Chains A and B, each alone.
Chain A
Amino acid sequence: MIKITELEKVYRTEEVETVALNKLSIEVKEGEFVAVMGPSGCGKSTLLNILGMLDDPDDGSFVFNGIEVAHFNERKRADLRKNNIGFVFQSFNLIDELTVFENVELPLIYTGVKTAERKKRVEEVLDKVQIMHRRNHYPQQLSGGQQQRVAVARAVVNHPKLILADEPTGNLDSNNGNEVMQLLTELNEQGTTIVMVTHSEHDARYSHRIIRMLDGQTVTENILI
């Protein structure tokens, strides 16, 4: 599904040049659950952003579903993203002014799904993450775990092929964290590819494979199953 080859990303400010990705090559197969680990600043978040097409690489190749996307413009990336990729962030990133229902509905709006169909699909997914009873609440009225479940619901409502999770349990206690990991595992079992960045060895154990990074390169890959 994902094949990146010799990917490079350098951040430049006036005085400092930081190499975030240094000729990185990774492959992720469809249906895989991959955890990316490494110390802060190793480039894992940059990798995730490029995979999510929120950022573009300076050099190298990024093939997504057989299409070279490394040099797509913003509009094309937005198109590809909205139909294929769901995001789960450490800080949930729900829109405070929208209710649970409306937050989850958002990706469907941008893919042009009709109102009735939207309602059906949002309710389905809210049911699945067991937050249906809170559908009319605003994010600040929910606990962290509940907020992250909403965020997961939003990530999957569009049936994306790929979910990118950036430290999804980073802001949660262990109970809530486990619930969310459980949810991701279920999604993976239903066929969704997952790439997750994490600091937690515990969470990483939910995945099939752990990619360890240092200074913009992979150092080891552990296959867990």
Chain B
Amino acid sequence: MFNNYFKIAFRNLWKNKAFSFINIAGLAVGMASAILILLWIQNEMSHDHFHEKADRIYTLNNRDKFNGDLWAWSWTPKILGPTVKQDYPEVEDAVRTNNGTFLLSVGDKHLNAQGYFTDTGFLSMFSFPLVNGNISTALNSINKIVITQEFSKKLFGNDNAMGKMIKIDSTDNFTVSGVLKDLPNNTKFDFEYLLPWSYMSKIGYDDSSWGNNSVQTYVLLKNNVSQKTFDAKIRNITIDHTKNTGDQSTTQVFTQKLSDQWLYSKSENGQYVGGRIETVKLFAIIAAFILLIACINFMNLSTARSEKRAKEVGIRKAVGAQKRLLVIQFIGESIILAFIAFILAVLVVELSLPGFNDLVDKKLYIDWSNVSYWLFAIGFILFTGVLAGSYPAFYLSSYKPVKVLKGTFKAGQALITPRKVLVVLQFTFAIALIICTIIVERQIQYAESRDSGYVRDKLVYTFIQGDVSKHYDLIRNELIAGGAAVSVTKSMSPITQRYSDGWGWSWPGATEDDKKTDFVRMASDADFAKTLGVEILQGRDIDIYKYSTDSTAMMLNQSAVKIMRLKNPVGAVVEADGRQWHVVGVVKDFIYESPYEKVEQLAIFGPKSWFTTIHFKLNPANSTQKDLQLAETVFKKYNPQYPVTFNFADESYALKFEEEKRTGTLAALFAGLTIFISCLGLFGLATYMAENRIKEIGVRKVLGASVIGITSLLSKDFLKLVIISLLVATPIAWWAMYTWLKTYTYHIPVEWWVFVLAGLLSIAIALLTVSYQSIKAAIANPAKSLRTE
């Protein structure tokens, strides 16, 4: 029997090539999109689930109230890890990680790379297997280093790295004690090497302050310890340890499962409530809809051409087929079709994965060696086949043989047919996506056009490494004297980022509540405003070279002055971080973080704070290339060991739009695909409509209808559907975009013309799609078409 079904299925596919092409192409594109999204979702959902002990690994987090809101964050004091390990029997092990970027040298090879300082237990807590070396001893002494395979290749080529020496920051020698298998693509951890915590202590980066939240802490709980009871026990650990220290903390500690951290990192009211999981859900919906839309094509085309198969149904029933068998036959056919489409989809996916990976910044791949992928593939084919085939199967198999075998059968012309509803559903989704795409693009443009408050043009920064700090004055002078730069300043962070923030400050008129106001920290030696092009509203720039007392000078931004309620900020003394700072100037707010958010209060400290970055403004008299060459010579001269890397402020600023641009590109991509699939379906429907109405068109023409009249008659029906779709899509898209825009402080309003534009666009696209068939039908010779009866 199945043999017979296969024969019919393949002969039907072959006989109706156009129909088969539309169906298979639409389904393949839909399936390919869904597979790409599902690969991404699978990667997101599996982050850090692969650790063997994943069900017992938790991150430690802080929760406290700032500016009136309860916040949660995962940076913790360095002392927290050893304390919980020592004092709480529930804890099997505690491990900390602290990011560090160092220059690693092997012979003449120098590489700047990011690694972690971590505790000995890191390799046994997490499942990052060693290719070479021993888990328990790899990090147990101060001069050992563990590197990843990829990094080993960079440093040593194909040689075995074990036991070889690596110099760090041109000062200390380390022996490679382990080579790690490269990190999988589904972990939040990102490092090229691991260094023992003891080395960090040696170079003076360690401290036992309960107020300095700068590392990530992970605990491995013993079997049968519940998260809830452990949370209750450690809640007040920081509060208890800061009692009677004069620096009483109010920060609570709580755990989060490591495997939840990736998806749930957005803090709301002191809880992790969302984050990437929201994007995952959104994309799951998009994947489901795209697949559904592709399946709708199949449903519509199958039912539209059902008259052609009605006879077969009638005959089969007359010779004894039960409805059940016919349903099985038709669903079987759609599964065959889904199978063919799947093979094409996989091809499309394999071809588009490199581009898609660039777009989403991931390393996704189809793991054919994994049985579960095969099982998924089978499930996916069956699901799609049944989804696409069930409605046509029941529709076709319910035909009454009496009617169809007489040869007088005509499908009904109901006012609302399921087919029309399905077309409306397709176009609703497509139009909603068009609207969203336009609004996302507009929002990015809006934020990009916002005044950043500083001049990014020809602004370059580089990080202070090696001997740069020691020779900074010489470097500064030579950059200017040599004509590479017109102005130079040292700072705590690149202007496009915040590295540090703090609270507990006081100033004239400050209340106890003000101690809970969080300020962003920046720093400067001199020429901060001049170099960055920030406007000074009151007072002057910090200048340690002119005023020796400026080592404890401070500049505030407008927002800080406002929140501090300072009438005469210049001259005020601010107590912060255990020191008194005197305010010398006020700068206009500039965007150092998100261009979509309000600029928060910020203080720029004098040289008594710390520096990581040098900014300099290139000399406009030279070409950028020449300026950079000159600058490179200066840095090479004073810091010869280190490779010179210059970063452009405008490029770093552009990165702030990356996430939104990605969203925008993905929305545009999926909107395009949805429209493509929907139009394929519309084209198919138009074809059948033209065929079915061939006699009507003939009669109309004989009676004197014009080509334009007939074309518009045929197109009108489809236009109506698109307009209904627009009406349905408008409130949905409006609500979605309103909600999305609300997450940004600086956002555009939802503008009405976007809906009009999207509507016109979709009408134009739909018209173009159906017009070919409409015009073809309209210009056909009526004598021919009337003969078909």
Contacts and interface: CB of A to CB of B under 8 A. Distances in A.
A102 interface: yes
B626 to A, nearest CB: 75
Interface stretch (A48-56, A124-132, A199-207): A48-56
B375 interface: no
A187 B12 CA distance: 34
Nearest to A171: B407
Q: Is the interface of B mostly helix, strand, loop or mixed?
A: helix
A107 B8 contact: no
B405 A93 contact: yes
Interface string A125-156: 00000000000000000000000000000100
A78 B312 contact: no
Given A97-B8, A98-B8, A106 B401 contact: no
A100 to B, nearest CB: 13
B319 A87 contact: yes
Interface in B391-432: 400-402, 405-407
A83 interface: yes
Contacts of B787: none
A66 B11 CA distance: 42
A107 B319 CA distance: 5
A174 interface: no
Given A93-B405, A97-B11, A97-B15, A107 B320 contact: yes
B315 A95 contact: yes
Interface residues of A, number: 29
A81 B324 CA distance: 16
Contact of B319 (A45, A55, A74, A82): A82
**SS class, residues of chain A in contact with chain B:** helix
A109 interface: yes
Interface string A50-79: 001011000000000000000000110011
A49 B405 CA distance: 10
A1 B318 CA distance: 20
A223 B318 CA distance: 30
Contacts of A45: 406
B405 A78 contact: no
A93 to B, nearest CB: 5
A90 to B, nearest CB: 8
Contacts of A91: 405, 407
Interface in A32-57: 45, 49, 52, 54-55
B320 A81 contact: yes
B323 interface: yes
Nearest to B407: A91
Interface string B290-334: 000000000000000000000110111111111111000000000
Contacts of B321: 78, 82, 110
B401 A54 contact: yes
Nearest to B308: A96
Given A54-B402, A55-B402, A93-B311, A81 B11 contact: no
B7 interface: yes
6 contacts: A81-B320, A83-B320, A93-B315, A97-B15, A98-B4, A158-B319
Interface of A: 45, 49, 52, 54-55, 74-75, 78-79, 81-83, 87, 89, 91, 93-95, 97-98, 102, 105-107, 109-111, 154, 158
Interface of B: 1, 4, 7-8, 11-12, 15, 311-312, 314-325, 400-402, 405-407
